[in-house]
Amino acid sequence: MKSSEIRSLYLDFFREKGHSVVPGIGLIPFDDPTLLFTSAGMVQFKKFWATDTPLPYTRATTCQKCMRAGGKDSDIDKIGITGRHHTFFEMLGNFSFGDYFKKEAIEWAWEFVIERLKIPEELIWVSYYEKDDETKEIWKKFLPEERIIPLSEKDNFWGPAGDTGPCGPCTELYVDFGIEKGCGSNCKPGCECSRFLEFWNLVFPQYDKQKDGSLAPLKRRGVDTGMGLERITRIMQKTNSNYETDLFLPIVKEIERISGYSYDSEEKKPSFRITSDHIRAAVFLIDENVLPSNEGRGYVLRRIIRR
């Protein structure tokens, strides 16, 4: 399945479930001085949970351009080392603002993954926030308990994006690439090895983190999910990393042509990954009029181009 088909399938599925299909915003959040870049699909909706502003819709779905380079959410140091992180990537998401909550979010995630993407259900594992028994009970309708893994706040309490704003417990879907990719007999989601790939995070925003670090209740609780398009494409196209999917392969091939090196060389692979990742990031930043400079966003771009 092509990445473009996965994008459409996702947005169409949530349209069928009553969501408005809303355009993503740019990489520079328009009215959010707390963020360097748009780092998640939820960024454009923060006020819908945190204030009682009138809502144009209570359910939305988007495909959002994201940048995780510079600032708190930066993944820049992982690029090239893993085959699953990016500075620039696309996040598919469905959102509820005071509308549906955990039950529907989980049921629809399962339906999409099993019935639309047709991923064999025995490959799916999930994690949940260890204090969130409600989420565990919902998952038990679909999965044996051995594949429902409790994790701590570090892994399964998401947000906020930046230092303040909506956050809450989350539950994540993983695909199992097989025991032979694991690091040992007791390897589970949450382990840093290559056996499990987390591809969809379902967050249940309930708190509004304040500047002093305290958690106030949100005006409207809801749902904020994020599925990495590059990761789900890798799963559907059965490639060894995100960099061999149709989202990256044309760039990798062009770098091979220009450089004369082969991506198949283990020694060169990290350089191919860094270069192809950073080219996408630079192109999309420049498209939004960010130019290399000595500070802020321009400095991030300068670092990306230099590297």
- Nearer CB in complex with ligand SER: 225/245: 225
- Nearer CB in complex with ligand SER: 158/243: 158
Q: Which two tokens stand for residue 161?
A: 């994006």
- Nearer CB in complex with ligand SER: 171/275: 171
- Nearer CB in complex with ligand SER: 26/292: 26
Instruction: Please check whether residue 164 is in contact with residue 32, taking contact to mean a CB–CB distance below 8 angstroms.
Output: no
Instruction: Please check whether residue 226 is in contact with residue 194, taking contact to mean a CB–CB distance below 8 angstroms.
Output: no
In the complex, least distance from residue 179 CB atom to ligand SER, rounded to whole angstroms: 27
- Nearer CB in complex with ligand SER: 61/225: 225
In the complex, least distance from residue 229 CB atom to ligand SER, rounded to whole angstroms: 12
In the complex, least distance from residue 195 CB atom to ligand SER, rounded to whole angstroms: 21
Q: Which residues 6+ apart lie within 8 Å of 11 measured at CB?
A: 21, 61, 62, 63, 92
In the complex, least distance from residue 42 CB atom to ligand SER, rounded to whole angstroms: 5
In the complex, least distance from residue 167 CB atom to ligand SER, rounded to whole angstroms: 9
In the complex, least distance from residue 3 CB atom to ligand SER, rounded to whole angstroms: 18
Does residue 169 have a cis peptide bond before it, meaning omega lies within 30 degrees of 0?
A: no
End-to-end Cα spacing for the chain: 32
Residues near ligand SER (CB under 6 A) are 40-42, 93, 158, 201, 203, 224-226
- Nearer CB in complex with ligand SER: 135/201: 201
The 3-state secondary structure of 115-139 reads HHCCCCHHHEEEEEECCCHHHHHHH
Q: Which amino acid is at 190?
A: G
CA nearest neighbour of 21 among 49, 57, 52:
57
Angle, helix 3-16 to helix 229-237, in steps of 10 degrees: 110
